Chains A and B, each alone.
Chain A
Amino acid sequence: MMVLPMLLSVIGLMGLFEALVTPEMIQSVFKGSVLSDTLIGTGVGAISVGQPFLSYAIGGELLDEGVSLYAVTAFILSFVTLGLIQLPLEWSLFGTRFTVLRNILSFIFALLISIATVFILGLIQ
């Protein structure tokens, strides 16, 4: 029950994000180089919130604009595994060590999985 204020805060922040940040704003951030776009993708996904399908829709748009699959995959993954807005709640419930560990690992693996996915797809297609 004590977690309710925090939960409401998270939901409140998500509402603000959805109202103020447009998909176009997100798309404009990607530059064109594979390496930096993948890092940018992971970072943007980390601070973004919303329904998962939103990441697929934005990801699809990014692909159409020529952003690399590495970046889009990393974006989709970090969108759903990392959350700047949920961080205070996570930290308050799980402690510093767990939160830091989990988020660092999620970040690293967003990059690793995106590389592996593109590599494997390249092999089988």
Chain B
Amino acid sequence: MLSVVGCLYLITFYFNAQAGKEALLVALETVKMIAPILLLVFFLMALLNTFIDSKSISRHIGEQSGVRGWIIALVGGILSHGPGYIWYPMLSDLRDHGAKDGLVVAFFYTRSIKLPWLPLMISYFGLAFTVVLTLLVILSAWIQGLIVNRINT
């Protein structure tokens, strides 16, 4: 896929060098920005693989995890920062180790709540909208998780 993207860049540069340069700059900025987060995620993954076995993962976010699992998933999604694709490898790892799909889906969805950006949302759309939307997102994340778990059983 990287070669496809490379070709797209070559095509863009051919037709519009300015845009191509801009795109490259944006991409490089992004890499610079996520590098520390990426290191953190890989570090966490290494920790996970070394110290936490499938049994404890199962206990906290697996089949029998219950309410605590949901809270971890929902709150974890809200607190996780940075772009989503950074968290994919770790989530996939957890899933392979027994984390329930529904919890992963819930985590994905509450990631849409971006704590640092909430003040900006309030300034654009008002406090009422922001509060209502945030609460609905949390509720929907839970419901979607339930649906996925139900479909998977």
A residues lining the B interface (CB < 8 Å):
3, 5-16, 18-20, 52-53, 56-57, 59-60, 63, 73, 76-77, 80-81, 83, 86, 88-90, 93-94, 98, 101-102, 105-106, 109, 112-113, 116-117, 120-121, 124-125
Q: How many A-B pairs with Cβ below 8 Å? A: 147
Bound complex: CA of A112 vs CA of B22, how far in Å?
37
Q: Is B59 an interface residue (CB 8 A)?
A: no
B70 interface residue, CB < 8 Å from A?
no
- Inter-subunit contact B2/A15 (CB<8 Å): no
Q: Is the CB of A105 within 8 A of B8?
A: no
Residue of A nearest to B135 (CB): A120
Apart from A9-B2, A20-B19: 17 A-B pairs, beta carbons within 8 A:
A5-B1, A6-B2, A7-B85, A11-B30, A13-B8, A14-B30, A19-B12, A56-B120, A80-B112, A94-B92, A105-B105, A106-B144, A109-B144, A113-B136, A116-B136, A120-B132, A124-B128
Whether A56 contacts B121 in the complex (CB less than 8 A), given A89-B85, A105-B105, comes out as yes
Provide 21 A-B residue pairs closer than 8 Å at the C-beta atoms, listed in order of the A residue.
Answer: A7-B86, A8-B31, A12-B2, A12-B8, A16-B9, A16-B12, A18-B26, A80-B112, A81-B111, A89-B85, A102-B105, A102-B108, A102-B144, A106-B144, A109-B109, A109-B144, A113-B136, A113-B137, A113-B140, A121-B128, A124-B128
In whole angstroms, how far apart are the Cα atoms of A18 and B28 in the complex? 13
Residue from the list B2, B12, B34, B128 in contact with A20, Cβ < 8 A: B12
Once the chains are docked, how many angstroms separate the CA of A119 from the CA of B78? 24
Interface class of chain B by DSSP:
helix
Would B124 and A56 count as touching, CB distance under 8 A? yes
Tally of B interface residues using CB under 8 Å: 55
B75 interface residue, CB < 8 Å from A? no
Interface string of B96-135 (1 = CB under 8 A from A): 0000010011001101101001001100110011001100
Residue B4 CB within 8 A of the other chain = yes
Chain A contact surface mostly: helix
Please give, as numbers and ranges, the residues of chain A lying within 8 Å of B148 by CB-CB distance: 101-102, 105
The proximity string for B residues 26-53 relative to A, scoring 1 for CB distances below 8 Å and 0 otherwise, is 1110110010001000000000000000
Q: A56-B121, A89-B88, A90-B88 are in contact. Are A105 and B147 (CB under 8 A)?
A: yes
In the complex, the answer to whether B27 meets A12 with C-beta atoms within 8 Å is: yes
Give every chain B residue within 8 A of A113 (Cβ-Cβ).
133, 136-137, 140
Q: Is the CB of A93 within 8 A of B121?
A: no
A112 to B18 Cα, complex, angstroms: 41
